[in-house]
Amino acid sequence: MLISAKRDIAAGDYASTNNRAYYCIFHAMRAVLALDNMDFKRHSAVISTFSQRYLKTMRFDRSFGTLIATASLIRTRSDYEDFYVCSVEDTRLLVEGAERFHEVVAKYLQGCI
**Number of domains into which the chain is organized:** 1
Integer Cα distance of 113 and 85 in angstroms: 41
User: Is the confidence at residue 113, as pLDDT, over 80?
Assistant: no
- In eight-state DSSP terms, residue 62 is T
Domain span at residue 108 reads: 2-112
Q: What is the pLDDT of residues 61-91, one digit of tens each?
A: 999 999 999 999 999 999 999 899 999 999 9
When computed from its CA atoms, the radius of gyration of the chain, rounded to whole angstroms, is 14
- 66, 60, 71, 63: which is closest to 98 by C-alpha? 71
Tell me the mean pLDDT in the region 89-95.
97
3-state helix, strand, coil in the chain (%, to 5): 75, 0, 25
> For the chain, first and last CA: distance in Å?
22
User: Which CATH number covers residue 9?
Assistant: 1.20.120.330
